[in-house]
Amino acid sequence: DAKTTQPNSMESNEEEPVHLPCNHSTISGTDYIHWYRQLPSQGPEYVIHGLTSNVNNRMASLAIAEDRKSSTLILHRATLRDAAVYYCILRYSGANSKLTFGKGITLSVRP
Amino acid sequence: ETGVTQSPTHLIKTRGQQVTLRCSSQSGHNTVSWYQQALGQGPQFIFQYYREEENGRGNFPPRFSGLQFPNYSSELNVNALELDDSALYLCASSLRLNTGELFFGEGSRLTVL
């Protein structure tokens, strides 16, 4: 499985944008980039995913580098509820696909 | 709320015992997968079921087994429990196989003494 590299932790201020980076230099052409987050005492929650183009949804934006070797999850206005562990995951789009989680990045949000 | 429910939420077993964890998938989802999450770690893939057949397995021994029923609910069975099996067990369902988002339950916390 292709691997991702994320910083261990990041701090942000409430109501400010947050940019969470992810490196995936060994990504293959059939790998989608997925982001999930896990709030304390809850199961992971889907955030967003993409293949080549930047993606937006109600939760976040995903910016994907042109060579696809890195990506950035953007939370446009952080809230206290966004404090969580964020996982950047490469998911193979073929048979027996699964999510391979790393340790993720722990986001803290200051009031 | 995702609609994926797991039971029990917490349980304590002793080494050597067997455990069954249950998962009710989100309505209409025919694919279910199970993950193990040790404290401080990301979830690790155990296996996936699609239309009652196992469809992919992670690096877990055969004493970890599963079932998916016609209504797409699912069970995870672990035999001969070991201390290292203490973890949060997460069930996730999805609408389609190998694509799309996964909807996770809140997990079953297993403690093995």
Asked if B30 reaches chain A (Cβ–Cβ under 8 Å), the answer is: no
**B50, B104 contact by CB (below 8 A):** no
Convert the pLDDT of each residue in B45-72 to its tens digit. 999 999 899 999 999 999 999 999 998 8
Cβ neighbours of residue B44 under 8 Å, at least 6 residues apart?
Answer: A101, B35, B36, B37, B38, B58, B59
pLDDT in tens, A14-62: 999 999 999 999 999 889 999 999 999 899 999 999 999 999 999 999 9
Chain B, residues 52-91, CB within 8 A of chain A, namely 55-56, 58, 90
pLDDT tens figures, B14-36: 999 999 999 999 888 889 999 99
Q: What pLDDT is attached to residue A1? A: 63
Altogether, the residues listed in chain B come to a count of: 113
Mean pLDDT for all residues in chain A: 93
In 3D space, the residue among B34, B47, B9, B19 whose CA is nearest the CA of residue B91 turns out to be B34
- Cα separation, A73 vs B74, whole angstroms: 33
List phi, psi (to 5°) of A20: -105, 115
Structure tokens at A89: 């995951």
For testing contact with chain A, the best of B32, B89, B90, B98 (most A CBs within 10 A): B98
Residue B89 above 70 pLDDT?
yes
Q: What pLDDT is recorded for position B38?
A: 96
